[in-house]
Amino acid sequence: MTTTTLFASFDRYLPLDEAEKADVANRVVERKIKRRQFILQEDDVCKHYTFVAEGCFRVFHVDKKGVEHNLQFAAENEWIMIIDSFFNQKKSSVYIEAIEPSVIFQLSRPDLIHLFRTYPKFDRNFRVIVETRFAELENRLLQTISATAEERYLAFLGQYPALSQRLPNTHIASYLGITPEFLSRIRKELSRKA
């Protein structure tokens, strides 16, 4: 896989010139990830900002009872990392796991800081990426405390339209905070209404 997809992701913000592309290409590491392979585990420090070129990942937490709670998904053309762990070099309280076989590009913290300092455009691009993810998480929190399960499912479909067919029901239900059986009832009710 080439870095073309990675470079194209910046076109949504501030496109890169040839010198910037060359510097990124020298710093990013391409990795092929197997299904169910972790790129971050609880108590590890998040050392990479990760771009998903192919595949899908989930961010999840395991509570004291051993129950998994999906917090976020990232698929093609999205960036994923744990902000607090990455920038503050703190242990992560969550996992990042591949749901499908995936191809990713990773930038280490020192390399990203180099790009920020050398090319102001990267500071702007990554600020927009972080702001977008932050807004998504704010909306998710608001839905969790004020929306019905059906409204949360419809919001999930709006945010992740392509993933509803790719993710197992158990992952979607965990993200919504409901059981897979209740998710099936919601889907049946929505199809009945349509």
Considering the entire predicted model, what is its pTM?
A: 0.91
Q: How far is CA 193 from CA 15, 115, 181, 188, 190, in A?
A: 44, 51, 19, 9, 5
- Over the stretch 41-54, which tens digit does the pLDDT of each residue have? 999 999 999 999 99
- Over the stretch 149-192, which tens digit does the pLDDT of each residue have? 999 999 999 988 889 889 999 999 999 999 999 999 999 999 89
Distance between CA 184 and CA 119 in Å, rounded? 49
Task: Return the exposure string of 7-37: e unless at least 16 CB atoms fall within 10 Å of the residue's CB, then b.
Answer: eebbeebbebeeebbebbeebbeeeebeeee
Distance between CA 104 and CA 29 in Å, rounded? 8
Q: How far is CA 143 from CA 27, 107, 131, 147, 165, in A?
A: 38, 32, 18, 5, 22
Residue 194 pLDDT level (bands cut at 50, 70, 90): confident
Domain 4-129: give its CATH superfamily: Jelly Rolls (2.60.120.10)
What are the boundaries of each domain within the chain? Answer: 4-129, 147-194
Measuring CA to CA, which residue among 103, 4, 99 is closest to residue 54? 103
